[in-house]
Amino acid sequence: MRDFTIDNLTEIVLEEYGSKTDDPRFRQIITSLLTHLHAFVKDVELTEEEWFKAIMFLTRTGQTCDDKRQEFILLSDVMGVSMLVDAINHPKSGKGTESTVLGPFYVSGAPEYESGASIIKQQYAEQVALVQGKVVDPDGKPIAGAKLDVWQTAANGFYDVQDKSMPEDNMRGIFTTDTEGNYAFVTEKPLSYSVPTDGPVGELLRASGRHAMRPAHIHFIVSADGYESLTTHVFSEGDEYLDSDAVFATKSSLIGHYSESEDAELAARYNIPVPFSHLQFDMGLMPS
Ligand code: BEZ
Ligand code: FE
């Protein structure tokens, strides 16, 4: 029989995994993964203590996940892997709104609202924000009946699923564009906030000397029949963390400007007090 050594082990493992499956894509993924994993272990000459520490880190990452918390997505996000996957699958085409990460706080089945309704169930900010725009195709033609699934933190820096004192679905909602492609909703102007640091991802950030802040943003998933679904954010112009997002997800085309408005007519139409913050941001979808 042959002995397994530092010199022959990688080759034997690759042969074992690569030669027995009928699925060519699986073969490509598993053999590439093992090639890089073995090269990494050899490169750093991993000690047994370090290997066990890594195993325990991944164990705690799994144990931190539940139906409201996804520590593995967060881990992928802070390591820049989610943005790499996004960039590979949604290359910049110069047309349509750019995508960015989904993040771990999306919850499907948010309440559906009439256009212009408020997603605030518990208000933390003094002032509200009106967010409006159009959903358009690559020729700038409005897309009627597009769905916009929106979510954000409240002005205390937490998502509803993180803060048990908050009503369920606070700062989440689904809106539909009208015949001119317009959407509108009332919310709070988002603030920059920290990704969760009380779990294994927090340990990683601290060990690396990285901060945990994300620049202020509103999440959107925009979808319409015949178009590719778009997962994106609108970031707030001027935010101090735009250049150092903990999850590497900022893109300059996704920065929106909030103006301070005292427009009484608009305020009356949306039943909001003046002054309010006003963001206008159009979304471009690509045909599928
Ligand atoms: C978010 O924006 O909700 C988010 C994205 C990545 C990691 C943590 C939070
Ligand atoms: Fe977010």
State pLDDT tens for residues 62-89: 999 998 889 999 999 999 999 999 999 9
- From 105, 194, 198, the mutation candidate for ligand 1 (largest count of ligand atoms within 8 A of CB) is 105
Determine if ligand 1 sits within 6 Å of the CB of residue 74: yes
Determine the distance separating the centroid of ligand 2 and the alpha carbon of 66, expressed in angstroms: 18
- From 77, 193, 201, the mutation candidate for ligand 1 (largest count of ligand atoms within 8 A of CB) is 77
Torsion sign over Cα 288, 112, 97, 233: negative
126-171 pLDDT, tens digit per residue, is: 899 999 999 999 999 999 999 999 999 998 889 999 998 999 999 9
Ligand 1 atom closest to 74 (CA): 7
What number of residues does the chain have?
A: 288
Q: Report pLDDT for 114.
A: 97
Take atom 6 of ligand 1 and give the residue whose Cα is closest.
103
Alpha carbon distances (Å) from 273 to 47, 118, 128, 131, 260: 62, 13, 8, 14, 12
Take atom 3 of ligand 1 and give the residue whose Cα is closest.
103
Q: Report pLDDT for 104.
A: 85
**Whole-prediction pTM value?**
0.92
- Burial pattern 98-125, b for ≥16 Cβ within 10 A else e, equals bbbbbbbbbeeebeebeebbbbbbeebb
Q: What is the DSSP letter of 38?
A: H
Q: Report pLDDT for 184.
A: 98
Contact 98, 253 (CB under 8 A): yes
pLDDT of 194 above 90 = yes
Determine if ligand 1 sits within 6 Å of the CB of residue 214: yes
pLDDT of 93 above 90 = no
Q: Report pLDDT for 69.
A: 87
